[in-house]
């Protein structure tokens, strides 16, 4: 019998590319370390004050509370094909600006964006806001956090 996992994503640790995922049920700490270039991290840190970031629990609550909310995977095609959240739609970062208005015509639609670790989705949230979208959020921890928490996935 599987018990529900309590999740909490903590703020960045030693560098902007580290975060901790606490799984309370087992009392474990899993440290994911991504190697990102300093220039990339600088750009991500510049957009963070302008966007909203949500935890897994906040994302789950928003998706349950708002039937019109959309979970958007902004990873590359090969990442999407390897596995993605069951309820997600795919708008890869490379085509996001081109296709968002067709896929999500209402700029007031609540959208929760995720990528591999929460960095690219932060950049995409910023771009979407500059395009006039008013209710964008980036998922802290991205796909790695979703899979670690047992979020339903498909290929």
CATH number, domain with residue 111: 3.40.250.10
- In the chain, the number of structural domains is 1
DSSP-H helix ranges across 27-76: 38-47, 56-65
Residue 35: per-residue pLDDT: 82
Evaluate whether residue 67 is within a structural domain: yes
pTM higher than the cut 0.85:
no
Asked if 78 and 59 count as a contact pair (C-beta separation under 8 A), the reply is: no
Evaluate whether residue 31 is within a structural domain: no
Evaluate whether residue 30 is within a structural domain: no
Evaluate whether residue 95 is within a structural domain: yes
Evaluate whether residue 135 is within a structural domain: yes
Range of the domain at 122: 38-154
Active-site pick, 70, 88, 104, 115: 115
115 is catalytic: yes
Give the residues of the chain that fall short of pLDDT 50: 1-32
Evaluate whether residue 11 is within a structural domain: no
């Amino acid at each position: 019998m599987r018990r529900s996992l309590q999740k909490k994503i903590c703020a960045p640790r030693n560098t902007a590319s580290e975060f901790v995922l606490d799984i309370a049920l087992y009392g474990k700490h899993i440290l994911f370390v991504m190697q990102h270039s300093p220039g990339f991290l600088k750009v991500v840190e510049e957009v963070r004050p302008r966007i909203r970031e949500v935890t897994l629990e906040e994302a789950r609550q928003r998706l349950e509370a708002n039937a019109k909310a959309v979970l958007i995977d902004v990873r590359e095609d090969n990442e999407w094909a390897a596995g993605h959240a069951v309820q997600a739609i795919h708008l890869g970062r490379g085509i996001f600006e081109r296709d968002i208005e067709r896929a999500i015509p209402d700029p007031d639609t609540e959208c929760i964006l995720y990528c591999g670790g929460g960095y690219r989705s932060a950049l995409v949230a910023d771009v979407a806001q500059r395009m006039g979208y008013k209710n964008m959020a980036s998922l802290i921890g991205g796909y790695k956090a979703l899979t670690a928490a047992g979020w339903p996935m498909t290929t």
